Amino acid sequence: MNEKVCLQVVLLIASSLTSMRVAANENLGRKRYAVLVAGVCNTQERYFWKDVLSMYNTIKECNFDRPLLLTPDGLDPDDKPNNIIDYPAEDFTNVLSSLTPLMDEDDLLFLWAYSHGGVDVGDDVYIGMGRMGLTGDRFREALSQFKCNIVVGVESCFSGGFLDDLSGPKRIVMTSTSEEDESYFDFTDRMSAALAPNNKWADTDRNGYVSVYEAFEYVSSELFLYDDNGDGVFTSQDGQLGSHTYLELVKAIRTDLNCDGKVDIYNIMMTARIFSVEEGEKNWDSRMDLDNNGVINIIDIWMVAKEHGKTI
């Protein structure tokens, strides 16, 4: 079973990379993979599935290379999109092992799990993965094989126990509650909305992209925990790595509006052509709203003009 899962994942990723379009202004060579787990998927508790599907859709909007969705073995939700290739939640660690040889140091791995959670007899936190429970120790072991950048989100009761287990260099870890508390908030649903492209409310620095830390702060609750400096504790020292980590592919030059690798007179003309157009009106184009205020104004034109001549 394990070899079959590994082969399926490798073939699936290879196929997607073959057909992937790479624009001239994107982060060339940087691959992004995502694995999302709905550990519970029954008719009485459909909110687990609903919220993970929402996160899946956000990942798709961010144009990840090939997001993988895992659900409990044998359960197939009626509203599952036809284009989703999923695996049993029980194969989570096998799927991660299959991704290891595909990822380089600069790549990004996004992991999200939403399920019931608890603490075992050895005081190790765990989260339900279908018929099995994934402990913090096993989760940490599964991640140890990666050298790439990793973003992990866990929503379950007592999920704060994962913060110390999973933290480390080049890692962002978020949990829905502390290691002593049950989880009652819609952490997955809130984060999926905050991380969605063009969420100008979460984009607090108004650079046109929502960083992971901006999204976390936007949905923040006193129970939500976060670590990105590797010490396994949520403090005021956290946030630096997450503030520069984005799920979207960030343009090398944001004012290169026609994606030809340079900022020239055509970019200025593109912005000037829809001067004074407001969001929601005909001809609106969010690419030109560089100050993110919902209207194309003189500041947007000035922002393009001041970078005239820049090339990648």
Q: Is pLDDT of 31 > 80?
A: yes
pLDDT at 7 > cutoff 50: yes
pLDDT beyond 90 at 242: yes
Q: pLDDT-derived band of residue 256, with 50, 70 and 90 as boundaries?
A: confident
pLDDT band at 71 (very low <50, low <70, confident <90, very high): confident
Which pair of tokens denotes residue 28?
């060339």
Which tops the pLDDT comparison, 48 or 311? 48
Angle between helices 2-19 and 92-99 in degrees, nearest 10: 50
CA distance 139 to 92: 9
Read off the pLDDT of residues 160-216 as tens digits, 9 standing for 90 and up.
999 999 999 999 999 999 988 988 879 999 999 999 988 889 988 877 789 999 999
Q: 66 and 13 in contact (C-beta within 8 Å)? A: yes
Q: Which range has highest mean pLDDT (84-93, 174-183, 255-264)? A: 174-183
> Of 43, 86, 246, which is closest to residue 151 (Cα–Cα)?
246
Across the beta sheet with 86-88, what order do the strands follow? 86-88, 66-71, 32-38, 108-114, 149-155, 171-175, 225-227
What is the percentage of the chain residues whose pLDDT exceeds 90?
45
CB 206 within 8 A of CB 292: yes
CA angle 134, 136, 140 (to 5 degrees): 105
Q: If you average pLDDT over residues 120-144, what whole number do you get?
A: 88
Tell me the sheet residues that pair with 262.
Answer: 311
Cα four-point dihedral sign 273, 279, 283, 286: positive
The residue-averaged pLDDT of 3-29 equals 45
Please give the single-letter amino acid code of residue 284.
W
Of the listed ranges 57-71, 72-86, 267-281, the one predicted with least confidence: 72-86
- Across 1-10, 18-27, 59-68, the highest mean pLDDT is recorded for 59-68
Residue type, 293: N
- Domains contained in the chain, CATH given: 2-244 (3.40.50.1460), 253-312 (1.10.1330.10)
Tell me the whole-structure pTM to 2 decimals: 0.74
Confidence class for position 297, pLDDT limits 50, 70, 90 = very high
Cβ atoms of 34 and 111 within 8 Å: the answer is yes
